A and B are shown apart, each in its own frame.
Chain A
Amino acid sequence: MASQERFFVRRVAVLGAGVMGAQIAAHLVNAGVEAVLFDLTAKEGDPNGIALKAIEGLRKLEPSPLATATVADAITVANYDQHLDRLAGCDLVIEAIAERMEWKRQLYERIAPHIGSEAIIASNTSGLSINALAQALPAQLRARFCGIHFFNPPRYMHLVEIIPATGSDAAMLDRLETFLTTALGKGVIRAKDTPNFIANRVGVFSILAAFHHTRALGLGFDEVDALTGPLIGRPKSATYRTADVVGLDTLGHVIDTMKSGLPDDPWARYYDAPDWFKGLVDRGALGQKAKAGVYRKQGKEIQVLDLAKGDYRTSGKEAVEEVVAILKNKDPAARLAQLRASQLPQAKFMWAVTRDMLHYCAVQLESIADNARDVDLAIRWGFGWREGPFELWQAAGWQQVAGWIAEEIAAGKTMAAAPLPAWVTDSGRTGVHTPAGAWSPARREYRPRSSLPVYRRQAVPDRVLGEAANLGTTVFETDAVRTWTTGDDIAVVSFKSKMHSIGEDVLDGVMQAIDEAERGFRGLVIWQTEPPFSIGANLAGPSAPRKEGPKPSGFASMMKKVKRSAESAVLKAAHKLNVADALMAGRLEKVEGVVQQFQATSLALRYSSVPTIAAVDGMALGGGCEFVMHCDRAVASLESYIGLVEVGVGLIPAGGGCKEFAIRAAAEAKGGDIFPFLRRYFEAAATAQVARSAEHAREMGFLRATDRVVMNRFELLHVAKAEVVALSEAGYRPPLPARRIPVAGRSAAATIKAHLTNLLAGNHISDHDYLIGSSLATAMTGGDLDPGSLVDEEWLLELERETFMALLATEKTQARIEQMLKTGKPLRN
């Protein structure tokens, strides 16, 4: 079968070094794919000036499109006048120039003679018709052409829509989907060639519906954002702030695409930007990039446009308590019923936008997508919603909700009068997601998931409502962990604690899992059913079982994670160090016992008779990081944020982290001076730095050269198991105990202290910071020893444990922990 032929993409050409083109190129090199970034020849200076400038721009963007600072060096720059011959060496050509049919047509004519005979050509258009674009290509290239729609920012947004043209070769589409999924880590949805495809069609309609009902009910934009954000499982930017972030001009273009492409649509009259919106665009208030849009910042105050006032006012209108209570109702049926019944304007708004969105999706499903799953996943992956529209509908009771919508269509309350499609009320229908698959109106059948071989790598893919995860059979289960297997002789341990924090019970569970793995399995994988990997140690006692559902996996949580600076990572450490109880009761010995147990577990992961693999996705902080450092291998998704953040609450890593850095520095020094190697490790821990990607974590030394980075988080478990097999097949033996470790010793500690002395004298740090820093220095340099003294692992573990306990005994560290627990904010003392 052609689609199973090996298709290797060595090099990709990206045409157009705009915001999307440059970021797509960045993500390609993040994934180890060579990228050639083309743009027009610069009129002055370096002919590749435009592309060069775009690459410089990548370095300044936040959150960073680049996995590491150096990866951008792998993007080569080119221009259409000098370098078209380079296209011949590219396996994939992604066109991402401005959305002008004529420009694209001209470019296609120009590049067509240079495209390799097997290469795929794809347009990243978000608006133009793929079939119309295909016509601009010479006939012999059309079979290798399709749409490939990335979402901004492409590194972080999981969704890529593939839009086949009529003549697109099926095998080519499969190859492309495979590449995007496994090599770039994206979630691929096949969309039909209709205006704005799937995610933008639904997502933009949802914004237009909000525009309409905001005005109709006289609500404030800030009020609507308070309602349509995290309260309903959507990004914090909610509705209007999302418009600002995207750019009102860009959003305007997307709306125009619907206006011009869907003149006969029942909602056609809403496919137009409202007057206030056009007014903002006309004045250049284009949103975030123009520093003014729906919102603006005046001094320190955030202001929002007020339609009644015709001017900006202080932003800050909240959702009213009663509506918040309704929206927090975990039962979707009751929630929608209450919203519908309420006379509060905010509740009426929420019901109206939900109703119209569901109505819209039901009517459009057949024309825009193959099936309901594709719509739900597209909106989740492309817009960061926690649940898709059909999932919500089905969860709330399909027929009940359908009845309400039909009733309100009849009553003329809905935005459009189009009736619900007949399939909605098929007899016996309880939804669109069933064990047999997701409903496809066009085919009038339930469609199973894609059988493309690449999806075999996703043992536990992202699921839609009602889809069960294949989490195998339980080996043993406690309140804190579940250890399971799928019959492949590999044990997997997953934590059940909140944010996968590590308490005594988790430590017990991991120990037991190691025991079980040693007895009857080829190896052990630590893998969580969703991110984070672990936010670290919880020294208080039994870990509270997780109360909340999984976090939204899309944009919102991604942005949050990536933007998290060292300081706010420290904030997270708050929850990890639930030592307050123990402290208050004066049970320091108990804490020491837990620390000892933690270290023992780290060592057990290192020295077990079977390979241990940490499968990391999302945050791995503090004790979570220390587990990662002690497993034989880490297999980390690119979006892993790893760091030792203990200093934020006045402590140092004591689950083997200091010891591990001391050993790694000694090994890297290869008999030479240890300090230069130790220094950066010290800095990472002393400033609670959290890596901004798995590759960054490797640069920082949390991950080793032998650890694997996986682009697609849903392939983590597959790759982790493959590592178990590889290590096991290679005749795995645990490493020999480290008994002669040279340490940097007292003069290295003194040199660090000299640096801290300057920070203290310059008022950059407090006396207590100085104490924490010098304690960390002592723990990492081996204590008061001559440089190069040889110690064993136990020496270093005892030292970090004692240093940890000494800090824990100080009033100021206790005050830091207490404040963090009470307020969630770090204390500088």
Chain B
Amino acid sequence: MANKQVQDAYIVSAVRTPVGKAPRGMFRNTRPDDLLAHVLVQAARRVPSLDLKSVDDAIVGCAIPEAEQGINVARIGLLLAGFPNTIAGLTVNRFCASGLQAVALAADRIRLGEADVMIAGGTESMSLIPMGGNKLAFNEAIFEKDANLGIAYGMGITAEKVAQQWKVTREAQDAFAVASHEKALAGIANGDFRDEIAPYEIVDHVPDLATHQVQVKKREASVDEGPRAGTNLETLAKLRPAFAASGSVTAGNSSQTSDGAGAVILVSEAALKRFSLTPLARFAGFAVAGVPPEIMGIGPIAAVPKALKQTGLKLEDLDWIELNEAFAAQSLAVIRDLGLDPTKINPLGGAIALGHPLGATGAIRTATIVHGLRRRKQKYGMVTMCVGTGMGAAGVFEAL
């Protein structure tokens, strides 16, 4: 065992929805609270021996918790899922790390010895809730200090700044993006996502103007919508910079805007025994760190060493790193500065291909790594990401 805890937290169930493209993809009309309720039900269904009444709390990450995913979407999701109303609900926001933060907080309740069964998750609809929310309202004071201008920067601008400072070329970014799509498509073809994805039945309600009837159309979503066959260097080279006039960051080498949700169930050792559960992984540790807002993409450079230190692990100990591809530019800067082994990073592709439903991504990639490590019979995995306004987060999992 790498580090000492009051008690360990074990993941016994981890599921996610397929990820849809936003704002015009398969989940364009699907509510994020419905997506959440779905993954909660599916997570519970995978551990039928667990008595849901024993769950202490559910912590759900969401980056823009308003409107369809507002008024504490964690609690709403639980009630929509038909879970016992004795389970409390907490929505947390650390932007792109919200889902991972939720897993860490849930694990911490167990590791502290104050809970035995916890649910963690994340949900986000970027189709229904725009980036930054329905009402952007910046504080006038941010313009008084240059260091705070980064608060106003869109993520794309921060990626451009990272590309400049870390001298990441357009070609390198595009090549990274192409690889992401290729790995994701191979993963899909290989059935690598089958363990983690809980297919979702999409129900569309559309008017039939001829008959004046509401047409209810149902279709099942079981595959991530983002990976694009035929993505190659030539097609990506044609794209124009999306954020800066003569920049290198394009829509093709940036993460996709997406919709999706994920959920995991964590228990103590005592609960493992009480409900005869098989652990999938042990939660090993988590760290966050702050960096300058205008280069938020380098967040993992600060967070990863902290998480390794906490868990007593070395980089070499990690078998699999889920490095959220907010942008190819920041991914490459992080890989280079930390000296990460590219073969261990995102073996099934990353957010450039698979999509990035902000606050849900941490929970979704937790599901990916927990199942992936077991399938590959590997031991340690890490989920890490950069976070808007200048933060990084990293969580470590040990497969069992």
Q: Which residues of B contact A748 (CB under 8 A)?
A: 137
Q: Mark A562-606, 1 if CB is under 8 A from B, else 0.
A: 000000000000000000000000000000000000000000000
Q: Mark B234-248, 1 if CB is under 8 A from A, else 0.
A: 000000000111110
Contact A747 to B138, CB < 8 A, known contacts A754-B152, A761-B157:
yes
- Cα distance A748–B137 in the bound complex, in angstroms: 6
Q: Mark B181-218, 1 if CB is under 8 A from A, else 0.
A: 00000000000000000000000000000000000000
Q: Are B135 and A675 neighbours in the complex by a CB distance under 8 Å?
A: yes
Which residues of chain B from 124 to 171 have any CB-CB distance to chain A below 8 Å in the complex? 135-140, 142-143, 149, 151-154, 156-157, 160-161
Q: Which residues of A contact B160 (CB under 8 A)?
A: 761-762
Asked whether A746 is an interface residue with its Cβ less than 8 Å from the other chain, the reply is yes
Q: Are A750 and B157 neighbours in the complex by a CB distance under 8 Å?
A: no
Contact A747 to B245, CB < 8 A, known contacts A757-B152, A761-B153:
no
Smallest CB–CB gap between A742 and chain B, Å?
Answer: 15
- Cα distance A98–B44 in the bound complex, in angstroms: 67
Q: Are B139 and A750 neighbours in the complex by a CB distance under 8 Å?
A: yes
Q: Are A751 and B138 neighbours in the complex by a CB distance under 8 Å?
A: yes
Which residues of chain A from 740 to 798 have any CB-CB distance to chain B below 8 Å in the complex? 746-751, 753-754, 757-758, 761-764, 784
Q: Are B154 and A758 neighbours in the complex by a CB distance under 8 Å?
A: yes
Smallest CB–CB gap between A765 and chain B, Å?
Answer: 9
Q: Which residues of B contact A673 (CB under 8 A)?
A: 135
Q: Are A754 and B243 neighbours in the complex by a CB distance under 8 Å?
A: no
Q: Contacting B247 at CB < 8 Å: which of A675, A747, A753, A762?
A: A762
Contact A758 to B153, CB < 8 A, known contacts A753-B143, A763-B245, A763-B246:
yes
| Most interface-central of B137, B153, B156 (chain A CB within 10 A) | B137
Q: Are B244 and A754 neighbours in the complex by a CB distance under 8 Å?
A: no
Q: Are B153 and A746 neighbours in the complex by a CB distance under 8 Å?
A: no
Q: Are A757 and B140 neighbours in the complex by a CB distance under 8 Å?
A: no
Q: Which residues of A contact B245 (CB under 8 A)?
A: 762-764
- Cα distance A763–B246 in the bound complex, in angstroms: 8
Q: Are B149 and A763 neighbours in the complex by a CB distance under 8 Å?
A: no
Contact A763 to B244, CB < 8 A, known contacts A757-B153, A758-B152:
yes
Q: Are A762 and B139 neighbours in the complex by a CB distance under 8 Å?
A: no
Q: Which residues of A contact B138 (CB under 8 A)?
A: 747, 750-751, 753-754
Smallest CB–CB gap between A780 and chain B, Å?
Answer: 15
Sorting the interface of chain B by its residue count into under 10, 10 to 19, 20 to 34 or 35 or more gives: 20 to 34
- Cα distance A746–B137 in the bound complex, in angstroms: 9
- Cα distance A746–B144 in the bound complex, in angstroms: 13
Q: Are B143 and A750 neighbours in the complex by a CB distance under 8 Å?
A: yes
| Residue in chain B with minimal CB distance to A784 | B140
- Cα distance A747–B139 in the bound complex, in angstroms: 6
Q: Are A754 and B136 neighbours in the complex by a CB distance under 8 Å?
A: yes
- Cα distance A764–B143 in the bound complex, in angstroms: 19
Q: Which residues of B contact A754 (CB under 8 A)?
A: 136, 138, 142, 151-152
| Most interface-central of A751, A764, A784 (chain B CB within 10 A) | A751
| Residue in chain B with minimal CB distance to A754 | B152
Q: Contacting B157 at CB < 8 Å: which of A753, A762, A784?
A: A762
- Cα distance A750–B148 in the bound complex, in angstroms: 13
- Cα distance A676–B137 in the bound complex, in angstroms: 11
- Cα distance A763–B247 in the bound complex, in angstroms: 9
Smallest CB–CB gap between A108 and chain B, Å?
Answer: 30
- Cα distance A750–B142 in the bound complex, in angstroms: 8
| Most interface-central of A746, A757, A763 (chain B CB within 10 A) | A757
- Cα distance A812–B364 in the bound complex, in angstroms: 52
- Cα distance A383–B162 in the bound complex, in angstroms: 57
| Residue in chain A with minimal CB distance to B246 | A763
Q: Are A747 and B137 neighbours in the complex by a CB distance under 8 Å?
A: yes
- Cα distance A761–B139 in the bound complex, in angstroms: 19
| Residue in chain B with minimal CB distance to A762 | B244
Smallest CB–CB gap between B295 and chain A, Å?
Answer: 12
Smallest CB–CB gap between A76 and chain B, Å?
Answer: 12
Q: Are B140 and A749 neighbours in the complex by a CB distance under 8 Å?
A: yes
Smallest CB–CB gap between B227 and chain A, Å?
Answer: 28
Q: Are B157 and A758 neighbours in the complex by a CB distance under 8 Å?
A: yes
Q: Are B135 and A762 neighbours in the complex by a CB distance under 8 Å?
A: no
Q: Which residues of A contact B149 (CB under 8 A)?
A: 757, 761
Q: Are B243 and A762 neighbours in the complex by a CB distance under 8 Å?
A: yes
- Cα distance A746–B142 in the bound complex, in angstroms: 12
- Cα distance A764–B153 in the bound complex, in angstroms: 14
Smallest CB–CB gap between A652 and chain B, Å?
Answer: 19
Contact A751 to B137, CB < 8 A, known contacts A762-B160, A763-B246:
yes
| Residue in chain B with minimal CB distance to A756 | B152
Q: Mark A270-300, 1 if CB is under 8 A from B, else 0.
A: 0000000000000000000000000000000
| Residue in chain A with minimal CB distance to B294 | A761
| Residue in chain A with minimal CB distance to B158 | A761
| Residue in chain A with minimal CB distance to B161 | A761
Q: Contacting B244 at CB < 8 Å: which of A757, A761, A784?
A: A761
| Residue in chain B with minimal CB distance to A679 | B136
Q: Which residues of B contact A762 (CB under 8 A)?
A: 156-157, 160, 243-245, 247
Smallest CB–CB gap between A620 and chain B, Å?
Answer: 32
- Cα distance A352–B247 in the bound complex, in angstroms: 58
Contact A751 to B136, CB < 8 A, known contacts A757-B152, A757-B153, A758-B152:
yes
Contact A750 to B140, CB < 8 A, known contacts A762-B160, A763-B246, A764-B245:
yes
- Cα distance A754–B243 in the bound complex, in angstroms: 14
Q: Which residues of B contact A757 (CB under 8 A)?
A: 143, 149, 152-153
Smallest CB–CB gap between A573 and chain B, Å?
Answer: 24
Q: Which residues of B contact A784 (CB under 8 A)?
A: 140
| Residue in chain A with minimal CB distance to B247 | A762
- Cα distance A776–B154 in the bound complex, in angstroms: 22
Q: Which residues of B contact A750 (CB under 8 A)?
A: 137-140, 142-143
Smallest CB–CB gap between A673 and chain B, Å?
Answer: 6
- Cα distance A289–B142 in the bound complex, in angstroms: 52
Q: Which residues of A contact B142 (CB under 8 A)?
A: 750, 754
Q: Mark A418-431, 1 if CB is under 8 A from B, else 0.
A: 00000000000000
- Cα distance A796–B139 in the bound complex, in angstroms: 22
- Cα distance A251–B243 in the bound complex, in angstroms: 46
Contact A753 to B152, CB < 8 A, known contacts A758-B243, A762-B160, A762-B244:
yes
- Cα distance A751–B243 in the bound complex, in angstroms: 18
- Cα distance A649–B246 in the bound complex, in angstroms: 25
- Cα distance A749–B142 in the bound complex, in angstroms: 12
Q: Which residues of A contact B157 (CB under 8 A)?
A: 758, 761-762
- Cα distance A676–B135 in the bound complex, in angstroms: 8
| Residue in chain A with minimal CB distance to B242 | A762
- Cα distance A762–B139 in the bound complex, in angstroms: 21
Q: Which residues of B contact A675 (CB under 8 A)?
A: 135, 137
8 interchain residue pairs of minimum CB distance: A754-B152, A762-B244, A763-B245, A750-B140, A750-B138, A757-B152, A754-B138, A761-B157
**B residues lining the A interface (CB < 8 Å):** 135-140, 142-143, 149, 151-154, 156-157, 160-161, 243-247
**A residues lining the B interface (CB < 8 Å):** 673, 675-676, 746-751, 753-754, 757-758, 761-764, 784
Besides A675-B135, A750-B140, A750-B142, 18 other CB < 8 A contacts?
A673-B135, A747-B137, A747-B140, A749-B140, A750-B137, A751-B136, A751-B137, A753-B140, A753-B143, A758-B152, A758-B153, A758-B154, A758-B157, A761-B161, A761-B244, A762-B157, A762-B160, A764-B245
A-B contact pairs, 21 of them (CB 8 A): A673-B135, A676-B135, A746-B140, A747-B138, A749-B140, A750-B142, A751-B138, A753-B143, A753-B152, A754-B138, A754-B142, A757-B143, A761-B149, A761-B157, A762-B156, A762-B160, A762-B243, A762-B245, A762-B247, A763-B246, A763-B247
